[in-house]
Amino acid sequence: MSNTKDSFSDYKIISSESKSWFVGKPGTNKNSFSVTWSPGAMVLYGEKGNVTLIYSQFNSYEKAKKWLADCDLEEFKGTIAHNHPEDIEYFYNAFRHWGKAQHFK
């Protein structure tokens, strides 16, 4: 068994750009979710579970937004970094909504 303390002794925290949004219908949290972008990855999580996408097009926020607005379901499935969620169409549609929606700063 390795010593966890020793395995991280040389690690440093390095800052990285990221952005996060909460998406939902005003007045209720039902079916709401959060989306986080960081270079190379997108994460969506909420009451229906979570999904992580990894794709080179996500190296910038603008490219991630454009790709997710235009991708088809098969392309989307190819970016999932783990087992496909049970309700994959929910996640696909949620990410597509995020990609097409106006983003407020």
Quick one: pLDDT band at residue 3, thresholds 50, 70, 90? Answer: low
Q: Is the pLDDT of residue 8 over 70?
A: yes
pLDDT (tens digit per residue) in 50-102: 999 999 999 999 999 999 999 999 999 999 999 998 899 999 999 999 999 98
Mean pLDDT score, 36-62: 94
Q: Which of 6-10, 15-19, 77-81 has the highest mean pLDDT?
A: 77-81
Mean pLDDT of 36-43: 96
DSSP 2-47: --HHHHTTT--------EEEEE--TT--TT-EEEEEETTEEEEEET
